[in-house]
Amino acid sequence: MTNCLFCKIVAKKIPAKIAYEDDKVLAFHDIGPQAPVHILIIPKKHISSISDLSGQDCEIMGYLHLIAKKLAKEYKIEKSGFRLVINNGADAGQAVSHIHLHMLGGRKLQWPPG
């Protein structure tokens, strides 16, 4: 999608610190990290939000989690713990309408979230 920030990052029109990339997925460090490890894991295909998912997105949504597992190992937060978050819509504070998994770790995280 031409006017989407994360599609522009996928297309390398906007730079990002890339943590992982393959033909289906891109993972990059959040520009405003909320934890020592804060990586955004996105499908290269544009999907706006959880609310826009269809049945054909099941595989990619599962695959994002597999990449999270791999990155957790790489960034050494596999044992200490980490949180995966998808914000959906205004009340959750979704700012970018390209679905993304936040992977947060490297510090004790509070629950419930704010």
Residues that bind ligand 5GP (CB under 6 A): 5, 14, 16, 28-32, 40, 87, 93-96
Place of tokens 């957790």: 72
78 versus 87: smaller Cβ distance to ligand 5GP: 87
Q: Which secondary-structure segment (H or E) carries 66?
A: helix 58-74
46 binds, among ligand 5GP, Zn ion, none (CB under 5 to 8 A by kind): Zn ion
Report the interface residues with Zn ion, using CB under 5 A: 1, 4, 6-7, 46, 98
CB 89 within 8 A of CB 48: no
Q: Report the phi/psi class of residue 106: left, alpha or beta, with left for phi > 0 and alpha for psi in -120 to 50.
A: left
Q: How far is the CB of 65 from Zn ion (least distance, A)?
A: 19
Q: How far is the CB of 75 from ligand 5GP (least distance, A)?
A: 16
Residues carrying an active site annotation? 100
Burial category of 6 from C-beta neighbours within 10 Å (exposed 0-12, middle 13-18, buried 19 and up): buried
109 binds, among Zn ion, ligand 5GP, none (CB under 5 to 8 A by kind): none
